[in-house]
Amino acid sequence: MTGARWRMFFGRKWLFVLLVLVFGWTLTKLGTQVVNLSEAADPWAASGRFFSAAFSPSLSDENPSLPAITTPFLERTASDLLRTLRYALIAMSLAIPAGVFLGLFASEQWLPNNGLRPFLNALRWLLRLGLSLVRAIHELIWALLFLAAVGDSPLTACLALALPASAILGKVFSELIDEQSRSAQKVIVASGGSGAQGFLGGIFPAALPDMISYALYRFECSLRASATLGFIGIETIGLGIRRSFENTYYSEVWTQLYLLIALVVIVEALGNLVRKRLRIGKPRQKSGVAMTEPTLRRTAPKDHLVRSLGLAAAVLVMASWSFGDRLLPRGNESQQAERLSRFFAQLTPDPVAPDRPVPTWAERREAWDAGSGDLLPWLHDLWESPGIAALTNTVAMSVAAIILASALAFFLIPWGARTLARSQPLGLEMVTGKLRSLVGGVVRAFFILTRAVPEYLYAFLLVGILGPSAWPLVLALALHNVGILGRLWGEVIENRDPRQARQILGMGGSRLQAFIGALTPLSLNRFLLFFFYRWESCLREATVLGMLGVSSLGYFISLRRSFLQYDQIIFFALLGAGAIIAGDIISDLLRKRLRT
Amino acid sequence: MSLLQVSDASRHYGATPALVGVALSLRPGEKVALIGPSGSGKTTLLRLLGLQEKPSSGSVTTLETDLATASADVLREARSRIGMLPQDLGLVPNLRVIQNIILGRSGTRNLLRTCRDLLFPSKSDRAEIFAILERLAIAEKMYDRADSLSGGQQQRVALARSLFQGAEILLADEPLSAVDPARGRDVLKLLTSLSDEDGLSLIVSLHQVELAREFFPRVIGLKAGRVVFDGSPSDEEIASLYSTDQ
């Protein structure tokens, strides 16, 4: 498509029409039934009871008939929360070194300038594709696979979190490395340094602040994912929430929710603080000290806050590895080996699977010879039913969710952006506005709270209240993404050139007019950029949300799990991964287009 | 003995000639200004002299080393004696001044030592860097982040990096483009005085003809990749350098 036609296609007025049309398509796929409860159930009463419990979070067990030896609720919740944090910390301590290593090899840095370059570059792309695949498979699916392969243990949870995190860190780190200016590296090489020295001295330190920044964000995500693992039975806060909810102890649910939100919000706030400090660096405080090298060194600007946070993180990671439940799975080696080999047998596609759960190599061989001809028809059948329909539903859910989230975020941004939500928007004195900063604070708090809760948790609660249909899942995705888009778009608005908007305000226009008339047209490309970025992550999340019992890829994954049909689980997981990688590529292409 | 020797060197990028049949030589301690309109080949010549790229034809020998024939070790040794001051300075913005400067010795140190230098610089290196910075009058910035310094200060950090490196030749690509026009004279004064005091050979590309003539006994004029004059040019030669007729 040429540039002009592209603009026509994606022109502003058509964009709106297009989004409405696409949303209409999702309605035809997902239906319009939002509430799916039995005749007798009263959704209003149920949700009324749930939401009114928000004002009376419980500090002790709601169940009056618990045996005396049961660990008290608060203590149980505290250890669930600590375990959630512990798994996320261990996962990140594995994922960050792996990400740096993978990131270096996925970058152009190490490619030599000789005949081997095209060949090695092809290998590099293969690695990037591998990273995309590992990351496209959701933490929950990794956890299901690891649970089957090595059994229930903390390590299972940590690996399930660490694997996709390593892959995405590797991918993003490689991009950060390739984005840096080469000029310092060139000087180092020009003065006789090796390429490796040039990287170490000229590229890596420059990329480091952004890498730390991203790793902090990823830690936040791992924390949320760690909580989510509770829903498939790993003992994190998610499991506590599930149990309390299923027993209708709603006040307990809210206590746990509040604690999880508090943890995530604290981690995010500390992350933001570190990010800010890394970006500007600390200016020199004292002056007039005696100018000798030792005094300068002693009084050098050091960021004690960032250093102590770094130290605290290191201590927490070490504590996570050393204290708490045994990391490795229980059972002796032969049991482990048997479990693993049974898992691989379950993983073998049905037509070529041997009859016995722990087959010998000869039996495997025999089964392959007997059934390999049926392999393609087997795949074809799975694709025809339920593959294609499940995939379409999953994609439709992600699209509906991102459109809903965008609409809400777009509506809220002019009320929430720091530069507008104040009595002097963009530096202009306005008569009305005292209330504005309050409203702004409320909107931003709403964004923070909505993004602190993981999608899966929202989905679990909403399905519990509204019954199993696609819309609770869509709402769950939309709620989480409103918070994220609110922040990302808000930052876009805050960093825009304010001149045109100020002009509108100066002529007596309102903030809303300045937003619609000047800031939005200036920011539309950036808005779309983040729209596609979030759509792709909605799609990834949508593949597992179906595990809550709504017809989509996740539903069939959890269904097949009850029959131990891991061959089909892999099929659905890979189907989802294929869609996510395709979505990733589409979103990447569109974003590149939008950046120019 | 000549420090560097260029004979009949040409350099093409694809079909575009950047340098054509250039010949020159330089004695140790000499100060040379390269002048000429934009695109006349000044940067390309500096890159050839700095053993950064090979000429398409002809030869360039710097510190008795020819990029076309040198082994990796010989090349590394030669490069460690050539200081480069690129137009964008090549500093890492979020590293401290001392860390940027200590990287100047990468050519004579191994990877492990570079790690150590960045994290725990040795006492003797610190003392040496402090002395260099004192000489350049920015010692108080030694432990500040490079991006907290002004353009002129950053340039002196880049210069300090070459001094700490122990460069025998300094190749500076338009060093005046990074500073305030009023400070241009100070920069050249500093560069030429360093050359006079340390015997550092200096090749500086410039746009300012008057300053070139004032500070440099030898001025080389480049036009469309060819050396038009080499020495102390007359007004006519300068005029023809910037005239549009071929």
- Work out the average pLDDT over B19-29: 90
Find which of A176, A286, A292, A293 to mutate to test the B interface (most B CBs within 10 Å of its CB). A293
Q: From the list A181, A190, A284, which residue is nearest B79 (CB)?
A: A190
Residues A236 and A101 placed together within one structural domain of the fold: yes
Contact at 8 Å (CB) between A406 and A452?
no
Q: How far apart are CA A232 and CA A242, in angstroms?
A: 10
Output the pLDDT for position A8: 46
Q: How far is B130 from chain A (nearest CA, A)?
A: 6
- Asked whether residue A124 falls in the same domain as residue A232, the answer is yes
Which of A35-39, A43-47, A408-412, B136-140 is predicted least confidently? Answer: A35-39
Mutation pick from B106, B108, B109, B113 vs chain A, by most beta carbons of A within 10 Å, is: B106
On whether residue B86 sits in a domain, the answer given is no
Q: pLDDT digits over A196-227, tens only? A: 999 999 999 999 999 999 999 999 999 999 99
Checking A318-327 for CB contacts under 8 A at 24+ apart, the result is A320/A85, A320/A86, A320/A89, A320/A90, A320/A93, A321/A90, A321/A93, A324/A82, A324/A83, A324/A86, A324/A154, A325/A83, A325/A154, A326/A153, A326/A154, A327/A90, A327/A153, A327/A154, A327/A155, A327/A158
Cα dist. A116→A108, A175, A195, A495, A510 in Å?
A: 13, 22, 17, 44, 61
Residue B19 maps to a domain: yes
Are residues B15 and B118 both part of a single domain?
Answer: no
At a CB cut-off of 8 Å and minimum separation 6, what does B171 contact? B46, B49, B50, B82, B83, B84, B85, B203
Query: What gap in Å lies between CA A448 and CA A427, rounded to an integer?
Result: 25
Please, what is the average pLDDT of chain B?
A: 91
B70 in Cβ contact with B61 (< 8 Å): no
Helix (H, G, I), strand (E, B) or coil at A509: coil
In a domain, A32, yes or no: yes
Whether A455 and A476 have beta carbons less than 8 Å apart is answered as yes
CB within 8 Å of chain A, chain B residues 105-164: 106-109, 111, 114-115, 118, 126-127, 130, 139-140, 142-145, 147-148, 158, 161-162
Report the gap between the CA of B20 and the closest CA in chain A (Å): 24
Question: A104: distance to nearest CA of chain B, Å?
Answer: 16
Q: What is the largest CA-CA distance in chain A?
A: 86
B chain contacts of residue A195, beta-carbon cutoff 8 Å? none
Q: What is the mean pLDDT of residues A244-259?
A: 92
Same domain membership, residue B161 and residue B39? no
Q: What is the pLDDT of residues B76-87, one digit of tens each?
A: 999 999 999 999
Q: Report the mean per-residue pLDDT for chain A.
A: 87
Residues B38 and B107 in one domain: no
Judging contacts by C-beta atoms under 8 Å, the chain A residues touching residue B83 are: 191
Query: Is residue A361 assigned to a domain?
Result: no
Q: A238-249: per-residue pLDDT in tens? A: 999 999 999 889
Q: Which of A132-136, A525-529, B32-36, B77-81 has the lowest mean pLDDT?
A: A525-529
What mean pLDDT is predicted for residues A431-448? Answer: 85
- Cα A345 to Cα B202: distance, rounded to the nearest angstrom: 73
Q: Which residues contact A488 (CB under 8 A, 6 or more apart)?
A: A530, A534
| CA A345 vs CA A160, A231, A353: distances in Å | 21, 26, 7
Give the mean pLDDT of A381-389.
87
Among A476, A487, A514, A10, smallest CA distance to A275 is for A487
Give the tens place of pLDDT for each residue, A451-466: 999 999 999 999 988 8
Residue B110 included in any domain = yes
Q: Which of B65, B101, B70, B71 is closest to B83 using CA atoms? A: B101
Alpha helices in A546-565 (DSSP H): 553-562
Residues belonging to chain B: 246
Does the beta-carbon distance from B90 to A196 stay under 8 Å? no
The CATH number that applies at residue B196 is 3.40.50.300
pLDDT at B133: 95
User: Do the chains contact at A291 and B144, CB–CB below 8 Å?
Assistant: no
Query: Same domain for B160 and B200?
Result: no
B70 and B3 in a single domain? The answer is yes
Q: Is residue A167 part of a domain?
A: yes
Task: Mark which of B112, B139, B167 sits at the end of a domain.
Answer: B167
Q: For position A467, which CATH number holds? A: 1.10.3720.10
Sole residue written with tokens 């004029």: B221
**In whole angstroms, what is the distance from residue A425 CA to residue B160 CA?**
46
Contact A188 B78 (CB under 8 A): no
pLDDT, tens digit, 9 for 90 and up, residues A104-136? 999 988 888 888 889 999 999 999 999 999 999
Rounded CA-CA distance A391/A574 in Å is 11
Å between B113 CA and nearest CA of chain A: 10
- pLDDT of the residue at A10: 53
- Based on the fold, state whether residues B162 and B173 are members of the same structural domain: no
Range from A29-38, A313-322, B84-93 carrying the lowest mean pLDDT: A29-38
Count of domains in chain B?
Answer: 2
Residue A296 placed within a domain: no
Instruction: Find, in chain A, the residue whose alpha carbon is nearest to that of B111.
Output: A197
Query: In this structure, are A19 and A100 located in the same domain?
Result: no
A573 in helix, strand or coil? helix
Identify the closest residue of chain B to A195 by CA–CA distance.
Answer: B111
Domain-embedded: residue A562: yes
Residue B18: give the domain boundaries: 1-81+169-246
B114·A201 Cβ contact <8 A: yes
Q: Residue B190 falls within a domain, yes or no?
A: yes
Alpha-carbon distance of A495 to A498, in angstroms, equals: 8
Query: Averaged over A514-518, what is the pLDDT?
Result: 86
Average pLDDT over residues B179-196: 89
Same domain? For A530 and A421 the reply is yes
Are B130 and B111 within 8 A, CB to CB? Answer: no
Give the Cα separation of A153 and A329 in Å (integer): 5
pLDDT in tens, B202-240: 999 998 888 999 999 999 999 988 999 898 888 888 888
Q: Cα A117 from chain centroid?
A: 34
**B246: pLDDT strictly greater than 60:** no
Q: Count A/B contacts: CB-CB distance under 8 Å.
A: 115
Q: Where in the sequence is the domain holding A318, given as residue range(s)?
A: 73-282+303-322
pLDDT in the model for residue A9 = 47
Place of tokens 């504590």: A319
- Interface touch B143/A300, C-beta < 8 Å: yes
Q: Backbone phi, then psi, for B201, in 5-degree steps? A: -80, 145
**Percent of chain A scoring above 70 in pLDDT:** 95
**C-alpha neighbours within 13 Å on the C-beta side of residue A292:** 3
Per-position DSSP letters for A240-290, written without gaps between them: HHHHHHHTT-HHHHHHHHHHHHHHHHHHHHHHHHHHHHHHH-PPP---S--
| Partners of residue B6 on adjacent β-strands | B24, B60
B92 contacts on A by Cβ (under 8 Å): 184, 201-202, 205-206
pLDDT at A100: 96
Of A293, A322, A351, the residue that ends a domain is A322
- Give a yes or no: residue B51 inside a domain: yes
In a domain, B25, yes or no: yes
CB A285 within 8 A of CB B128: no
Q: Which of B149, B167, B185 is the last residue of a domain?
A: B167
Q: Write out chain A residues lying below 8 Å of B140, CB-based.
A: 291, 296
Please tell me the distance in Å from B183's CA to the nearest CA on chain A: 24
Q: The pTM is what?
A: 0.89
Residue B1 confidence (pLDDT) above 70 = no
Query: Are residues A109 and A30 located together in one domain of the fold?
Result: no
Cα(A258)–Cα(A240) distance, integer angstroms: 13
**CA nearest B137 in A: which residue?**
A291
B63 Cβ under 8 Å from any chain A Cβ: no
The two three-digit tokens of residue A520, written as one number:
């939005």
Looking at the structure, tell me whether residues B186 and B77 fall in a common domain: yes
A295 near B CB under 8 A: no
A193 touches B at CB < 8 Å: yes
Say what the pLDDT of residue A268 is.
92
Same domain (yes/no): B12, B123: no
- Number of domains into which chain A is organized: 2
Site from A183, A187, A199, A307 to mutate, B interface, most B CB atoms within 10 angstroms = A187
Q: pLDDT tens digit string along A279-298?
A: 777 777 666 666 888 888 88
Question: Does residue A516 form part of some domain?
Answer: yes
B104 DSSP 8-state letter: G
Q: Are residues B154 and B117 in the same domain?
A: yes
For A34, half-sphere exposure in the C-beta direction (CA atoms, 13 angstrom radius) is 5
The pLDDT of residue A431 is 67
Q: How far apart are CA B93 and CA B87, in angstroms?
A: 15
Give residue B35's pLDDT band: very low, low, confident or very high (50, 70, 90): very high
Residues A402 and A271 in one domain: no
**B232 and B113, same structural domain?**
no
Q: What percent of chain B has pLDDT over 90?
A: 63
Q: Which residues of B touch A209 (CB under 8 A)?
A: 94
Is the same domain home to B180 and B116?
Answer: no
B126 → closest Cβ in A188, A284, A293: A293
Percent of chain A whose pLDDT exceeds 90: 41
- Tell which of A191, A208, A279, A289 to mutate to test the B interface (max B CBs under 10 Å): A191
CA distances A174 to A119, A167, A195, A213, A221, Å, are: 18, 11, 17, 14, 19
| Residue B212 and residue B100 in one domain | no
In the predicted model, what is the mean pLDDT of residues A320-328?
84
Q: Tell me how far apart the alpha carbons of residues A402 and A540 are, in angstroms, rounded to a whole number.
A: 12
Residue length of chain A: 596
Flag whether pLDDT at A1 surpasses 50: no
